[in-house]
A and B are shown apart, each in its own frame.
Chain A
């Protein structure tokens, strides 16, 4: 039963975000400089999505949610930058980061064509799917692979705050229906 459930969860994740799952199933586990790059990139993607939503969203809860995303993800990324500087690590670009950025750019172009309530719904739905995928990758791949204790701890704080974001987004998605 447990196996069936996790297979279902994996399928759901694959559907919502093929990039992160491919990364997760890769034989080589990512190095700390790669993990730092992936986590930072994932943050930038959500910051850009929030900026787009600030311009286009109509619903006040959606606007407030976008502001929350901007505030929290900028705070996490600021911490991440301070940490890589302290550890003297240079974040290393990699296939997962590239694919994530490409996928996000496509999504942004898609959302850009929508307006009003249609945009609000699509943005929030994507925030649910995106946070679910990122949280899955943090739990199953990035946190277990991180070797530096401070990096691991920052990723764990990130996971905790992003789980809150996912719940928040799910709540708004239900309200918008």
Chain B
């Protein structure tokens, strides 16, 4: 019995070293027609919280078609990143709003 407990303990220790640091949540805001920060680095598994502070509807639309998030006025939404790459994204309604999301494996 103590042997099994020890192996469970060992497994727990091993797991905590093998499993990478907990996925992060990164906030990207759209305020007064500006996306901030303009460039974000993230990893697969991280969550992006998109926050639209404007009274206008916006979208976060990937140039390569990977995502297209609708953001009605004064709302937020989340996306979990699943694919690596450097993605240029923009708002379909206000194409002057542009930013970059770098997703590392």
- Docked CA distance A157–B56 (Å): 11
Q: Which residues of B contact A72 (CB under 8 A)?
A: 56, 93
Chain A CB count within 10 A is highest, among B33, B55, B57, B95, for: B55
Tell me, yes or no, whether A85 is within 8 Å of chain B by CB: no
Tell me, yes or no, whether A8 is within 8 Å of chain B by CB: no
Interface footprint category on B: 10 to 19
- Docked CA distance A75–B94 (Å): 14
Given A160-B32, A164-B33, verify A79-B93 contact (CB < 8 Å). no
Tell me, yes or no, whether A167 is within 8 Å of chain B by CB: yes
Tell me, yes or no, whether B96 is within 8 Å of chain A by CB: yes
Contact A164 B56 (CB under 8 A): no
Residue of A at shortest CB range from B57?
A: A71
Residue of B at shortest CB range from A71?
A: B57
Q: Which residues of A contact B73 (CB under 8 A)?
A: 75
Tell me, yes or no, whether A107 is within 8 Å of chain B by CB: no
Please name 5 pairs of A and B residues whose Cβ atoms are closer than 8 Å in the assembled complex, sorted by A.
A71-B56, A71-B57, A71-B93, A157-B33, A164-B33
Return the 8 tightest CB-CB contacts between A and B, nearest first.
A75-B55, A164-B96, A75-B56, A164-B94, A79-B55, A68-B93, A160-B33, A72-B56
Known: A75-B73, A160-B32, A160-B33. 17 other contacts (CB 8 A): A68-B93, A71-B57, A71-B93, A72-B93, A75-B55, A75-B56, A75-B57, A76-B55, A78-B55, A157-B32, A161-B33, A161-B56, A161-B94, A164-B94, A164-B96, A167-B96, A168-B95
